Amino acid sequence: MSLELRNVGWNAGFKKIISDVSLRVTRGEFLGVIGPNGSGKTSMMSVLGGIRAPSTGQALLGDQPMKKIGRRNLARHIGFVEQQADTIDRITVRDAVALGRTPYLSLLTPWSGHDDAIVCEALASVEMGPFADRMWHTLSGGEKQRVHIARALAQQPDFLLLDEPTNHLDIHHQLGLLELVRALPVTVVAALHDLNHAAMFCDRIAMMDGGKLIALGTPEQILTSQNLREVFGVAADIEIDDQGRCHIRYHAGNQKTRAIKKDRVA
């Protein structure tokens, strides 16, 4: 089962948000998507997840155009976790995860013990088992994100797409979440804003800028000082440790500021 974009463009009205994006997700990998604000990450993820239809080009699942596959079928293979989804409904954690079974339920196939089991499994994978009967609104941000992931897992997907899943979490939960996700037996595509996290967890990184996919490769290939300066507008040094992992060291401010500081000290 493969997930692919071929020359995909997406327009909002007359404005081109993303154009000519081609990408093939490898089975079992953790693919990170990075880029500055407005680079089109979320739009690309939406098309990749089958939530939006591309304006140009094709989105394919298992080499079949998503259009032909149908929403329900897509939902059985792709789980999508938005940046921030919340509700004021008074539901339990279990109810929230149970929504993930929607693509499998119908009038003729009502809820069964099998669905219960899958929900339990999903909760266990995100280590939220004891929270099953808690009310949604009593959870913290990190806990809610984990429940969202559990819901996506309840869909029994082949691919898990996460759109900036750690945005509003504290550092402990950011890392915990990414660690958890990496350990899951699904192929993950995650849009990340923290480049060091991308370096730590991703097998490959896709870098986007101005609506185009400008680079795709391993962290060492993508996360270079030059790319960081050109795409993100920051000065940084890249350190590669003995295990081959990248660490980005940012330089605060630019040359001018450093010169002024030097003068002051002196």
Partner 1 sequence: MFETSPVQQPVQPPRQSLAGRAYLVRAGVSLGALVLLVGVIAMAAAKGETHIPLGTVLQTIANHLWQAGYDVDPIDAGIIWNYRISRAMVAAACGASLALSGAVLQALLRNSLADPYLLGISAGASTGAVSVAILGFGAGMVSLSLGAFVGALVAFGFVALLAIPAGRGAGAIILAGVAGSQLFNALTSFIVTKAATADEARGVMFWLLGNLSGVRWPDVYLALPVAVIGLLGCLWYSRALDAFTFGVESAASLGVPVRRVYVVLIAIAASMTAVMVSIVGAIGFVGLVIPHAARFFVGTRHGFLLPASALIGAVFLVAADIVSRIILDGQVLPIGVITALIGAPAFAIILCHGRVLR
Q: DSSP of 165-202, one letter per residue?
A: TTTTS-HHHHHHHHHHHHHSSSEEEEE-S-HHHHHHH-
Q: Nearest approach, Cβ of 108 to partner 1 (angstroms)?
A: 12
Are 169 and 93 in contact by the 8 Å Cβ rule? The answer is no
Minimum CB separation of residue 119 from partner 1 in Å reads: 8
Residue 211: left (phi > 0), alpha (psi -120 to 50), or beta?
Answer: left
Q: Residue 58: how many CB atoms within 10 A of its CB? A: 17
Nearer to partner 1, 4 or 115 (CB): 115
Instruction: Please state the closest distance from residue 106 (CB atom) to partner 1, in A.
Output: 8
- The nearest distance, CB 82 to partner 1, in angstroms, is 6
Q: How far is the CB of 94 from partner 1 (least distance, A)?
A: 6
* Nearer to partner 1 (CB atom), residue 52 or residue 235: 52
Nearest CB to partner 1, comparing residues 167 and 225: 167
Instruction: By CB under 8 A, name the binding residues for partner 1.
Output: 46, 49-51, 71-76, 78-80, 82, 85-91, 94-96, 99-100, 102-103, 105-107, 110-111, 113, 116-117, 119-121, 123-124, 127, 129-130, 132-133, 148, 152, 155, 172, 175-176, 179-180
**What is the C-alpha to C-alpha distance for residues 251 and 102, in angstroms, rounded to an integer?**
48
Q: Is 113 or 244 the residue whose CB approaches partner 1 more closely?
A: 113
Nearest CA to 82 out of 162, 202, 168, 19 is that of: 162
Considering the complex, state which of residue 60 and residue 150 has its C-beta at the smaller distance from partner 1.
150
In the complex, least distance from residue 128 CB atom to partner 1, rounded to whole angstroms: 8
What is the C-alpha to C-alpha distance for residues 193 and 1, in angstroms, rounded to an integer? 28
Whichever of 76 and 247 has its CB closer to partner 1, that residue is 76
